[in-house]
Amino acid sequence: MSKLKIAIQGVPGSFHHQVALRCFGEDTEILAFNTFEPVAKAVATGAAEFGVMAIENSIAGAILPNYDLIDRYELSIRDEYYLPIAHQLMALPGQKIEDIKEVRSHPMALLQCKNFFAKHPEIQQFDDVDTASVAMRISEGKIKGMAAIASEIAAEIYGLQILASDIQTVKDNFTRFIILEKEKSTQKETPNKASFKVTIQNQKGGLAKLLTMLSDKGLDLSKIQSIPVIEKPWEYAFFIDAEFSDSRQFEEAMELLKNDFGGVKIFGEYTSRKA
């Protein structure tokens, strides 16, 4: 029997890799990519059964390009997973913080550690494709004077020494990941959360009308993100996450949106995992 193929952004030891193993188990085949677009493409083409994709962080906010990927590749959100994030500063064994001239990591990780680096202005920061991939590069190249921000597991995998622990600005730091699939599948649990997109023209009171309509139907918005519709000037797409207790009211709300706004696209109905 062939192993389940899971597409992720990042190498072993990355946060995406950890979520994939937690959600699907150790006996899976991980398809690792440097960026998010090939993850979406792998799921869309059937090269992978599922994809794991970070969508927002409690400190750094939403990862806007990923909303567009889900939309363009016609993917469905199957589930979500909240991973507590602890960032470690790591380098080759035997070095001290005073030896570090530069640090590289994913831009979201750097954003989440701003306070730490404000205390160490001598260390230059550089965006990179992934947290764990920098750790791997330092280890394989025996690069001195460079540090990575990654997980404790990444330090163990690549034999690096942790120079500073838990350097994220807010200790109660979580990243929300979504589990993607090509087509909507049957859920074992009754859904109480949905992700969808509504497109509205830039008309007076349009957004207020939208929010009032959703509220009247008992939908509790946990996320709303606006993105301009490039091919239609002055129109905006709103990516919305909403929780509900009555599936019938959710369905009625979607029908009202279709009638009043026209452009409605449901990405997935699933169970909220937020504690």
Which residues are known to be catalytic? 175, 177
For the chain, residues with pLDDT lower than 70 are: 1, 202
What local confidence, expressed as pLDDT, does residue 260 receive? Answer: 83
Angle CA 149–152–156, to nearest 5: 110
Spell out a b/e string for 2-35, using b for 16 or more CB atoms within 10 Å of the CB, else e.
Answer: eeebbbbbbbbbbbbbbbbbebbeeebebbbbee
Query: pLDDT tens digits for 147-202?
Result: 999 999 999 999 999 999 999 999 889 999 999 999 888 777 889 999 999 988 76
Query: Looking at the structure, do residues 77 and 16 belong to the same domain, yes or no?
Result: yes
Instruction: Look up residue 88 and give its amino acid.
Output: Q
Cβ neighbours of residue 53 closer than 8 Å, sequence gap 6 or more: 9, 16, 36, 39, 40, 66, 69, 70, 177, 178, 180
Query: Looking at the structure, do residues 65 and 177 belong to the same domain, yes or no?
Result: yes
245's tokens: 């207790």
Q: Range of 121's domain?
A: 88-164
Domain finish residue from 146, 181, 216: 181
Angle CA 124–126–130, to nearest 5: 140
What local confidence, expressed as pLDDT, does residue 1 receive? Answer: 67
Total domains present in the chain = 3
Q: Is 272 among the domain residues?
A: no
Query: Looking at the structure, do residues 63 and 123 belong to the same domain, yes or no?
Result: no
Ramachandran category for residue 69: left, alpha or beta (phi over 0 → left; psi -120 to 50 → alpha): alpha
DSSP letters for 208-221: HHHHHHHHHTT-EE
Query: Looking at the structure, do residues 251 and 237 belong to the same domain, yes or no?
Result: yes
Domain at 200, CATH number: 3.30.70.260
Contact present, 28 and 6 (Cβ < 8 Å): yes
Instruction: Calculate the CA dihedral of residues 242, 226, 44, 16 and round it to 10 degrees.
Output: -70
Q: Is 211 among the domain residues?
A: yes
